[in-house]
Amino acid sequence: LPQLTMVNCYIFAVLMQLGIFLVFGKPQVPCYFIFGDSLVDSGNNNELVTTAKANYQPYGVDFPQGVTGRFTNGRTMADMIGELSDLDEFIPTHATVTDQQISKGVNYASGGAGILPETGRHLGGRISLERQLNNHKEIVSQLSRLQENTTFTNEHLSKCLYIVNTGSNDYINNYLRPNFYKTSHMYTPYQYASILVRQYSLQLKRLYNLGARKIVVFGLAPIGCTPAEIHYFGTSGNKCVESINEAVNQFNDKLKPLIDDINHDNEDAKFTFINVTHISSLQKVVPWPNVPCCEVMVDGQCAHKTTTCPIRILSIYYDGFHPTEFSHNVIATSAYIALSPMNASPYDIRHLVQL
């Protein structure tokens, strides 16, 4: 049965990729706010002094507007969740959003950012989750001023959809970089996961206190299966770097109980957890190789104007770290319609937006 549901997920994602389900109706939510890292960044890093940016070819080769700063060949999972929720346009970045647009949502995500403020500092500029929340606080205040009605603003925000997808860089660009950061010398994987989840708890509760109620929190993918980490660390004969996946699982194992606790402690909170590691087990059903679709530089990102694999729907990874549009699609569709109860808990997004 688990394999059957994953095959169904694969078929559903293929149909989504072909646009079969993209028939827009009335938006299911009035607004949509996006927090996180390069997995959902749509261009906030473009003007920052940082190596963590994707505003050049071959990124965006399959995106309608071309190069935008998305770290993939096309749409991200955040884009697709918006489409599945019947939103008729992509959510603008915080760097470019106008007063006329903020009532429909903002994308705050930033490549290289993490739960800990120091994560990714060796890359240059990035907007940590804490700073993203500061930006959201300013947007909420701005929305209240424009509406001149705090009650309306609070009611509006409580109906919106929020997604938070972060934590990968706290491993990739912190714990797994001992030459730049001390964390792996100071903490065991269990201790580090505890520190991350403790900080994340405060940040998610802060988002709740800023008016969010329908909040989708993504767990971490098996980072040890990314082409870059396989190249850096080797696999000792395994398909992935199992020690990294085990460390990441320590974080995921603590994150779902945190979501349950927040829901229990706040009657009107509707947090849900997306089990990306379980969704990623599709790789066991359709065993694609863990290789990048583009020629990569030392940092794992695509080399400028390099050629890419011709059939990108057959690749899991676009560069050394980031999924292809197709892989984003698998995650987005599995989060929106959970064909297995292991994928989303306590709700999938389809049911969450109806609450």
Q: What is the pLDDT of residues 66-124, one digit of tens each?
A: 999 999 999 999 999 999 999 999 999 999 999 999 999 999 999 999 999 999 999 99
When the pLDDT of each residue in the chain is averaged and rounded to a whole number, the result is: 92
Query: For 4-51, how does the pLDDT look when each residue is reduced to its tens digit (9 = 90+)?
Result: 444 455 555 555 554 444 555 799 999 999 999 999 999 999 999 999
Round to whole Å and give the CA distance between 286 and 151.
50
Structure tokens at 263: 């829901």
pTM: 0.93
In the three-class reduction of DSSP (H, G, I as helix; E, B as strand; rest coil), residue 279 is classed as helix
Round to whole Å and give the CA distance between 138 and 286.
44
Structure tokens at 264: 């229990």
CB distance 297 to 319 below 8 Å: no
Show the domain range for 33.
2-352
Note the pLDDT of residue 282. 62
- The residues assigned a catalytic role are 38, 319, 322
The DSSP element (H or E) to which 199 belongs, if any, is helix 189-209
More confident residue, 148 or 51: 51
Q: How many separate domains does the chain show?
A: 1
Structure tokens at 355: 């609450």
Query: For 278-302, how does the pLDDT look when each residue is reduced to its tens digit (9 = 90+)?
Result: 998 865 556 678 899 999 999 999 9
Of 183, 172, 169, 175, residue with least CA distance to 110: 169
The CATH number linked to 126 is 3.40.50.1110
CB distance 71 to 45 below 8 Å: no
